[in-house]
Amino acid sequence: MSTFAERKRTIRRVPVKWIVLAAYVLLVLLSRWVTSADRQAKPEKAHRVELRQIPAASEKALPIVVIPRLPDGGREWNRTAVDLVKTASLARERGPVYAARWPTAHHRSRESMSVGHFAADILAALESQLGAGRFHLVGEGMGGMVALELASRHPGRVASLTLISAPGAQEYTLLGNAVANKFVYFFHHLPFVLLDVATPHFGLADQIPYNRGYSGVFFDSDLSEAKAALRGWNGPALIVHGRSDWITPVDAARYSARLMPQAKLVELEGGHGPDLAVAAASEVMRFIADADAGKAPVRPAAVPAAERYPELVASGGARFWILVLIIILCTFVAEDPTCLASGLLAAEGIIGFWWAALACTVGIFIGDMVLYALGRWLGRGALRRAPLKWIVKEHEIDRMAGWFGSPRGLLVIVSSRFIPASRVPTFVTAGILRLGLPRLALLLFVAALVWTPVLMLLGSALGPPFMEQFPRYKQYAAWIVIGLFALIWFLTHWVIPALTWRGRREIVMKIRRLLQPSGWPSAVLFLPVRLGVALISLRHRSLTAFASANPSFGRIGGFTGDSRSLLMRPFQRDSRCCPTLALSSDDSSDERVREALAFSAEHGFPLVCKPEVSENGAGLRIVRDGVALERLMRAAEEDVVLQPFVRGREFEVVWRRNPGRDDGRIMAIVEKRAVTVRGDGEQTLEELIWLDDRAVARAALFLRCHSRELTRVVPAGETVILNPTGSYGHGARCVHRPDLLTPELDAAVTSFAKRFPGLHFARFDLFSSSTEEFRAGRFTCTEVGGCCQVSSLIRDGSLRFTRSYGAVWDQLRACIDAGAANLAQNVRPVPLDELMARWSEANGRADRFAVSED
């Protein structure tokens, strides 16, 4: 049984970010469970519309139904209805007033949050309370579109229609186009969705006014038929709008009045919100009284469907500047989609082409300048803190700093505007290097001005034909928007880069990584291996059976996360073992420096500095002089291991033996080959990496590892080794070499492994000067891994999956069977919590590639 202190030490091994993430996920799951009752499909709750009645002054007058604006979750959601009641001059002539509350808090089981669905729900609620009689409709803001929908579907039930600050025709809403608006509403809706599904709110997110239901109304609603609904209403109508409304321009109300000639248009001083509704109360009550008395004008005949709509009012005045402001703000979120949407708006005649281009250019320029300012004011240290560290990697700064120092530095800044994923690091780097602002600002503005019309022309050319077909498929609008995003991503990440040589080489890199399974991410490639560990362990009725294969070897049998120096300790007296110095973070920095310098004096430079706990070469540093060594030792915040840098060819050997027997044999041999490029005296290192057919497959990794010397012109004949170490994580090639297995090598590895009697499964990293020396059994061991440290032969792209995975599964069975046999002999099992804590410590590192401490 583990003591409290041991469990505390175990927990401390888990990276803090993983603990925080686990706690956060647990809270989210708990929140979902607590609110599960509300998350079941309950149409009677999700579709229930709350009707709050205000007593009538006259039982003979028709009821008045008020549909409020959004958001409606506050305490004053029925304020407009109350204001109507307070209008004393006509209080005796009014009927009962009902305020209809949107059921946005219970949105999860609704098919849609569109205004059309709400109109059906409100009608059902009215019928249950008022019967089949007629009523007056008053809609405020988005509630006006619900009222319009209800009146359009059931004209015989609606005695009059009043629209207060209502959007009206689609062309006057936001960007003026259903598809273009979807882009904006998508980014508007996304934060609310994440708040609902990815935060532990325990139901509180449903109670606030601005929730997922609120944003879902805008995202799901399609106002493209608003013009037809407005022109189709023949009954009494009142339109009240504020002249300075910045959300819905007054031009929208004027256009609605043209579509309904019988409508009375009242323009008031003011903007958008409850204050306008208060000012409009007397007008509304007077209009309803006229409608009850039959004095309100109506349209005698319906407008023929073939009749053309009135011409749209071109953007001007406040609407024009509001639209320009919207375009500028949208560029901060998504530059290229906004340019395409603006081109579509220009093609529709909603805004002039060059005005839209200027708005996009200004928005993009402001965004670029903000990135420059972040780099200039916060400096390089900001790259190590959130949120910049998630967006810009430090090696990208090193690479671009080299570019800026070249004669083509300014060209890099301009060209980054046309290269996806390079804009943010380019502009942040320019700020960190404090490049001259006047000249840089001019270049950035010119680059944006060149790039913007190109995308806008594309949007104006392709947009109108698409919009002609959109009404037929508008029920799939959300999927169309997602498809457009995918198309834009494909254009910007595949088509546009293909126009340049480097872009084409990047495409080659992506295709090779995609088509070559051996190059897939470890999480994908080793998933069958991890499933195999779990399945075979369950067969032995112990999840940690594999960790008992090597009793007392390290802390957890040599599994991932075990201490390197502890695993090397049993072999230190063997001359074939690489000298190893373990340095503890508990010691003082002076003591660490003294021991490290003494070790370097004995073994010379370069040295390899590794974390005690890591995987696949993460955190490894190559130290080439005493100054760098002292700096590294003083900055170290974890236990580290020092070793001499061993030259030669590297091999990975998996070895096993049966418990209780004096046997042992090699199961697999993998050679770790270096990836090299040869200089020609003309090409830079970066160009050589992109040119090499083998290096291009992992060009992104090699550019990261050599970010400080990418602009160096490699002399003719000089060979540059791209992978700093023999780890696949650093770019080495893994080649299965069963031809190297000889009786001499097998005997040498077995005698070396038996230095620790309890070792039954191990993986050794061995160096030798040549394959002949290796076959003869002469090698130097630099690292030892224990249980389930299977071979990397699945990284050999020349092998079929059936062969490579078959060999790895044989290794897993050998390890787990040995562990099960030891457990049967009453060997103490390894605690699961310690096993997972050490594994998470090894896999939770952010420094995944090696660098030289020059």
H or E element: which one contains 358? helix 353-378
Per-residue pLDDT, averaged over 274-280, amounts to: 78
Q: Of the ranges 120-134, 636-650, 806-820, which one carries the lowest mean pLDDT score?
A: 120-134
Instruction: Write the pLDDT tens digit of every residue in 492-502.
Output: 778 877 877 87
Say what the pLDDT of residue 766 is: 96
Tell me if residue 438 falls in helix, strand or coil: helix
Instruction: Write the pLDDT tens digit of every residue in 642-667.
Output: 999 998 999 999 999 998 888 899 99
Instruction: Write the pLDDT tens digit of every residue in 206-258.
Output: 778 888 888 888 888 888 889 999 999 999 999 999 988 878 888 889 999 99
What's the sign of the alpha-carbon dihedral 373, 376, 382, 383?
positive
- Statement: residue 436 has pLDDT above 80: no
Instruction: Write the pLDDT tens digit of every residue in 351-381.
Output: 888 888 999 989 888 888 888 887 778 776 6
Instruction: Write the pLDDT tens digit of every residue in 542-592.
Output: 888 888 999 989 888 899 889 999 999 999 989 999 999 999 988 899 999
H or E element: which one contains 212? helix 212-220
Q: Name the packing angle between helices 437-469 and 353-378 (round to 10°).
A: 140
Query: Angle 674-677-680 (CA atoms, 0-180°, nearest 5)?
Result: 155
Task: Map 86-143 to HEC letters.
Answer: CCHHHHHHCCCEEEEECCHHHCCCCCCCCHHHHHHHHHHHHHHHHCCCCEEEEEECHH
In contact, 618 and 845? CB cutoff 8 Å: yes
List, as one string, the DSSP characters of 156-176. TTEEEEEEES---SGGGSTTS
In contact, 452 and 355? CB cutoff 8 Å: no
In contact, 163 and 256? CB cutoff 8 Å: yes
Token digits of residue 84: 């109507």
Instruction: Write the pLDDT tens digit of every residue in 181-220.
Output: 877 788 888 889 898 888 998 888 877 888 888 888 888 8
Separation CA 71–CA 580 (nearest Å):
66
Instruction: Tell me how far apart the 2 most distant CA atoms of the chain are, in Å.
Output: 111
pTM: 0.68
The single-letter code of the amino acid at 758 is: G
H or E element: which one contains 415? helix 409-416
Say what the pLDDT of residue 386 is: 63
Task: Map 2-50 to HEC letters.
Answer: CCHHHHHHHHHHCCHHHHHHHHHHHHHHHHHHHCHHHHCCCHHHHCCCE
Which of 295, 359, 291, 293 is CA-nearest to residue 324?
359
Instruction: Write the pLDDT tens digit of every residue in 693-731.
Output: 888 888 888 888 887 788 889 999 999 999 888 888 888
- Residue the block writes with tokens 């480097």: 502
Q: How many other C-beta atoms are found inside a 10 Å radius of the C-beta of residue 827? A: 18
- Statement: residue 596 has pLDDT above 90: yes
Separation CA 232–CA 491 (nearest Å):
42
Percent of the chain with pLDDT over 90: 26
For residue 423, name the pLDDT band (cuts at 50, 70, 90).
Answer: low
Separation CA 339–CA 450 (nearest Å):
12
Distances in Å between the alpha carbon of 90 and those of 138, 237, 519? 16, 19, 78
The single-letter code of the amino acid at 343 is: G
Q: Of the ranges 173-187, 352-366, 445-459, 749-763, which one carries the lowest mean pLDDT score?
A: 173-187
Which of 443, 428, 435, 441 is CA-nearest to residue 374?
428
Say what the pLDDT of residue 854 is: 53
Say what the pLDDT of residue 259 is: 93
Say what the pLDDT of residue 413 is: 64
Strand partners, 673: 733
In contact, 600 and 633? CB cutoff 8 Å: no
Percent of the chain with pLDDT over 70: 86
Q: Of the ranges 396-410, 633-647, 714-728, which one carries the lowest mean pLDDT score?
A: 396-410
Tell me if residue 707 falls in helix, strand or coil: helix
Q: Tell me what the pLDDT averaged over the chain comes to.
A: 83
Separation CA 125–CA 123 (nearest Å):
5
